[in-house]
Structure 1
Amino acid sequence: MNAMVVVEQSRWRDGFEQRALARYRAAGCSEPLALALLERALKGSEDWTVATDGTGWIAVGIRDDDGTPVGRIHELTVEQGRAWAERWCAEQGARRVEVRLTGGPGQFAGYPVRGQTRMRAAAEHPGLPPGLTVRRLTEQEYPAWYAAETAAYVADIVRAGALTPEQARQKSDQDFERYLPQGYLTPGHAIYAFEADGEVVGTGWVNHAFLPGVTFGFSLEVHPEHRGKGYGRAAMAVGEWATRQGGDDVMMFNVFGGNEVAMKLYDATGFAVLDELRSVDLP
């Protein structure tokens, strides 16, 4: 395939914005949320390389992952254009190439899924399941919760096949510092414990107003000894309840690739896939 890199990107950019917005709207996003997602998708676009073969567009870039170049395919509307994009990434020194997709895998069906963003409108008046109570996690409980959460996060990243254990630990440290800079007292964040028969069976960590109208669920965790008892669905109900408590109407969260049990639960409870992160190692 012959493609030519373009210097003047305004025509591509206008089309990219319209195509991206159409995908977000089709996924059920409100207009303010679609615009916020577009702004996030365009971050760093001034450094992307854009090419065309006359029939469509290829937009690619490189990001630094702790000193390792990682290729990112930001858009691909050229039929059979994946090889060109991968070759470009390899020529820039990338060891891995990744893509975030809304609306299906298309040419990237062979790329393993590393993670998904799921979302659903919360029930207007969500109720908690019978026998379940919810309270805020106490500051005394926070250190043990934090240790368990970081360990689980590292395990999830490694299971998804995205990073090595050491890289996963570094990412965990960076992400928790980013999202909980003031720990237990970080504004906009709430950590809940849910109990049954007077015993804590799980926890939830949410960030209200993460995006317009969106509460983001960083973690909805049922403790291992209580799994298989129906508390997974209960945790989702807690998430919806927390979303409305924070004044939002949409709940959103990520799930790592390889977690088939969780994905089946989210399918069953109506949390649709907004987008997927897929990646593959380059030769």
Structure 2
Amino acid sequence: MDEMEIVVDRDEWRAGFEQRVLNGYRDAGCSEPLAEALLEQAVRDIDGWTVATDGVGWAAVGVREDNGVIVGRIHDLTARRGREWAERWCAARGARRVEVRLTGGTGEFADYPVLGQLRMRAAAQDPALPEGLTVRPLTEEEYPTWLAGQHAAYIADIVRAGALTTEQARDKSDRDFALNLPQGLLTPGHAFYAMEADGRRIGTGWVHHGFLPGVTFGFSLDVHEEYRGRGYGRAAMAVGEWATRQGGDVAMMFNVFGGNAVAMSLYDNTGFTVLDEYRSIDL
């Protein structure tokens, strides 16, 4: 069969898809509870996906609205000519761009620009703070200025990745911060740090403990611009590792947006592996 046909009975496809997703996370070093939690995220809204087959492989697709724009999503692809069919399917439903989540390599999506990555590494059993660096909680007085800076950095990251316009990114930033920090500095499970060297604040950190089983999520580990290029980037990652253990977790996870080659190089060099990579292309 050369053409793709829509599948009504999806049990065979779903069983194979879920097994492949689980195996991908296990191969990346995730614990079984973490792999299953990530699978649960990966199959969210799965009943709304459209699945097709060429008799040998599969393609699973869907569309959603993102800030007023229809976006297509290729959720699974093993069929030989599935990409061409999936892009046509999304375009026929008004999609302006198509996204894909990849685990374990780019496959045939190497020409899709990187939208973002989910990275993770295990924390050392008893990590120490870098010599000369101290960490303290962020104060109530520092929080408003810190929050404004986080909003601005997040908006810039989204725009640089090519996902949204500045106005759309600003709206997304407002929604995401309201969702993640409903009680601001006092939001349960979240910790905020100031990193200091020689009596000067050289950066800040924001982490969420217990984000997933055994995982602390690093929302930001930032070195102030005037202190960059002095090795503090690696020090900030060590602070994240220390904070992970302080929160009782065993691994740290975070997102990095596409277009940030400097950050990706730092994460490569500090052992943070790519769990998922998200790529996107305009139609």
TM-score class normalised by the smaller sequence: over 0.9
SS in 1 for 2:218: strand
Q: Which runs of 4+ in 1 moved over 6 A?
A: none
Q: Are 1:252 and 2:253 an aligned pair?
A: yes
In the TM superposition, what is the alpha-carbon distance from 1:7 to its structure 2 partner? 1.2
Q: Are 1:117 and 2:118 an aligned pair?
A: yes
Distance 2:123 2:266 in 1: 16
In the TM superposition, what is the alpha-carbon distance from 1:264 to its structure 2 partner? 0.7
Distance 1:162 1:104 in 2: 21
Distance 2:176 2:153 in 1: 13
Aligned pairs (5 A) from 1:1-283:
1-282=2-283
Is the contact made by 1:98 and 1:279 (CA closer than 8 Å) also made in structure 2? Answer: yes
Where structure 2 has 5 or more consecutive residues not aligned to the other structure, the ranges are: none
After superposition, give the CA deviation of every residue in 1:84-116 in whole Å (9 maximum; x if it has no partner). Answer: 000000011111100111111101110000111
Distance 1:162 1:168 in 2: 8
Distance 1:222 1:66 in 2: 31
Is the contact made by 1:4 and 1:51 (CA closer than 8 Å) also made in structure 2? Answer: yes
Distance 1:216 1:40 in 2: 15
Distance 1:10 1:212 in 2: 28
In the TM superposition, what is the alpha-carbon distance from 1:66 to its structure 2 partner? 2.3
Distance 2:3 2:174 in 1: 43
Query: One-letter code of the match for 2:218?
Result: G
Query: One-letter code of the match for 2:235?
Result: A
Is the contact made by 1:80 and 1:107 (CA closer than 8 Å) also made in structure 2? Answer: no
Distance 1:92 1:178 in 2: 30
After superposition, give the CA deviation of every residue in 1:141-180 in whole Å (9 maximum; x if it has no partner). Answer: 1000000000011011111111111111111111111111
Is the contact made by 1:213 and 1:250 (CA closer than 8 Å) also made in structure 2? Answer: yes
Distance 1:80 1:92 in 2: 19
Query: One-letter code of the match for 1:110?
Result: D
In the TM superposition, what is the alpha-carbon distance from 1:260 to its structure 2 partner? 0.6
SS in 2 for 1:126: coil
SS in 2 for 1:217: strand
Once the two structures are overlaid, the 10-residue window that deviates more, 60-69 or 92-101, is 60-69
- Amino-acid identity (%): 72
Distance 2:183 2:84 in 1: 45
SS in 2 for 1:71: strand
Distance 2:81 2:178 in 1: 41
TM-score (norm 1): 0.98
Distance 1:149 1:70 in 2: 26
Distance 1:65 1:164 in 2: 12
In the TM superposition, what is the alpha-carbon distance from 1:80 to its structure 2 partner? 2.9
Query: One-letter code of the match for 2:74?
Result: I
Is the contact made by 1:118 and 1:273 (CA closer than 8 Å) also made in structure 2? Answer: yes
What RMSD, in angstroms, separates the aligned Cα atoms of the two structures?
0.7
